[in-house]
Amino acid sequence: MNYQLLGRSGLRVSDLCLGTMTFGEDWGWGAAKEECRKIYEAYRDAGGNFIDTANIYTNGSSEKIVGELMSGHREEIVLATKYTNAAVGFSGKPGTDANAGGNQRKNMVQAVEASLARLKTDYIDLYWLHIWDQITPADEVMRALDDLVRAGKVLYVGISDAPAWVVAKSNTLAELRGWTRYVGLQIEYSLLERTVERELTPMAVDQGMTVLAWSPLRNGVLTGKYLPENAERSRSDGARMHTEMMKGFGGVDASAQTLVREVVTIGKELDVSPAQVALA
């Protein structure tokens, strides 16, 4: 495993980050604890040190499982989690707390404390703003994140799924006021989703931010297993694509099928998997 610096920082992270959105079975699909352990250990054995989760993943179970898996070697892990989306835990019931969601300071403080408890740690290496809420002023967000850094609860901050102008504005504001700036940008990026190359990735280069691609295999589509000719093979796994949580997360239309078949063909010619081709 190779390592690189995270944005304009001295923090070293492995080239491959282990995403844990499917750690836990609370959403009706996902990996059981023992399967999560096998995935985690295989990643660690390969030299990986960068783990990504979120407060909302499998209703908090992902963070709990990651916390258990890190036990005994927490200092070796670069741990990333996220806030913005409402999660069970503040009031005990979803939908009863008007401020249990969004980018604002109150939700941020509540969310980070809840994540620290689930992860069984006293600090988070990289704290992501999960999605831009289009409401909270940039100065409130950046000052609140800076306060978390100064308090030692968070070491670095990043932003996910926000327009380029929001990210650039936020970093410029942070630099002018001496606050902590974003070092990472997390966006959907794959052979089937390249619109980010118009503004987001050039902006990240300009800002010295590391880009982390979520769903680089487009929910498994780029492995070829969801092609019509593989319908029987993917029948059980394909059911998850039709759950409430997966609405809007792609599919295999005619144009996508053409590209995926090209990926599969190249893989056969090079004697590698379609996933290896898609990630190269």
Q: Do 202 and 189 sit in the same domain of this protein?
A: yes
Neighbours of 20 (CB within 10 A): 26
Whether residue 230 sits in one domain with residue 195: no
Q: Which of 173, 195, 216 is the last residue of a domain?
A: 216
The number of domains in the chain is 2
What is the pLDDT, as a whole number, of residue 90? 42
Residues 243 and 111 in one domain: no
Do 82 and 135 lie in one domain? The reply is yes
Condensed to tens digits (0 to 9), the pLDDT of residues 213-268 reads: 999 999 899 999 988 888 665 555 555 555 655 555 556 678 889 999 999 999 99
Lowest mean pLDDT among 66-75, 81-90, 171-180: 81-90
Do 195 and 231 fall within a single domain?
no
Catalytic hit among 3, 40, 43, 57: 57
For residue 169, pLDDT beyond 60: yes
| Statement to judge: residues 96 and 231 lie in one domain | no
What's the pTM? 0.90
List the domain range (segments joined by +) for residue 174. 3-216
| Measured distance CA(173)–CA(139) in Å, rounded | 7
- Looking at per-residue pLDDT, the higher value among 209 and 220 belongs to 209
The pLDDT of residue 27 is above 80:
yes
Question: Can 57 be counted among the known catalytic residues?
Answer: yes
CATH number at residue 169: 3.20.20.100
H helices of the chain, in order, are: 33-45, 61-69, 105-119, 138-150, 164-177, 200-207, 235-238, 254-270, 274-279
Same domain? For 235 and 197 the reply is: no
Which residue type is seen at 52?
D
Residue 212 and residue 231 in one domain? no
Same domain for 126 and 51: yes
- What mean pLDDT do residues 37-66 have? 98
Last residue of a domain, one of 164, 183, 216: 216
- pLDDT tens-digit map of 93-129: 555 678 889 999 999 999 999 999 999 999 999 999 9
Q: Which of 188, 216, 244 is the last residue of a domain?
A: 216
Does one domain contain both 224 and 115?
Answer: no
